[in-house]
Amino acid sequence: MPFVKEKYHIEEETIAFLYVMHTLRYTQGQAQRHIAKGRLLINGVSMTYTGQKIQGDVEMVFFRPQGKGLKPTFQNKDFMLFEKPSGVLVHPNTMATPYSMLDEVRSIAGDNANGTHRIDMETSGLFLASKHKKAETYLKGSFENRTIKKSYLAWVDGNLTEPFSSQERIKVNKDGYENTKHKVFISDEGKPAKTDFIPLEYDEILDTTLVACYPHSGRLHQIRIHLFHVKHPILGDPIYGASYAASDDYLDMTQSEENRLIQHGAPRLMLHAQSLSFTYGSKFYIESKKNFVDLKSLIYPKELRVFNRS
Which residue in 182, 208, 201 sits closest to 266, CA to CA? 208
67/77 Cα distance (integer angstroms): 20
Phi, psi dihedral angles at 284 (to 5 degrees): -125, 135
- The set of residues, in sequence order, having a beta carbon less than 8 Å from that of 252 and lying 6+ positions away, is none
- The secondary structure of 275-298 as a DSSP string is EEEEEESEEEEEE--S--GGGGGG
275/164 Cα distance (integer angstroms): 20
Neighbours of 57 (CB within 10 A): 12
Which residue in 52, 45, 44, 64 sits closest to 20, CA to CA? 52
208/302 Cα distance (integer angstroms): 9
**Catalytic residue selected from 120, 157, 237, 249:** 120
> How do 170-172 and 184-186 pair as beta strands?
antiparallel
183/190 Cα distance (integer angstroms): 13
> Quick check: helix, strand or coil at residue 226?
helix
Instruction: State yes or no: is 120 an active-site residue.
Output: yes
242/236 Cα distance (integer angstroms): 9
Task: Give me the half-sphere count of Cα atoms (radius 13 Å) on the Cβ side of residue 46.
Answer: 11
* Positions marked active-site: 120
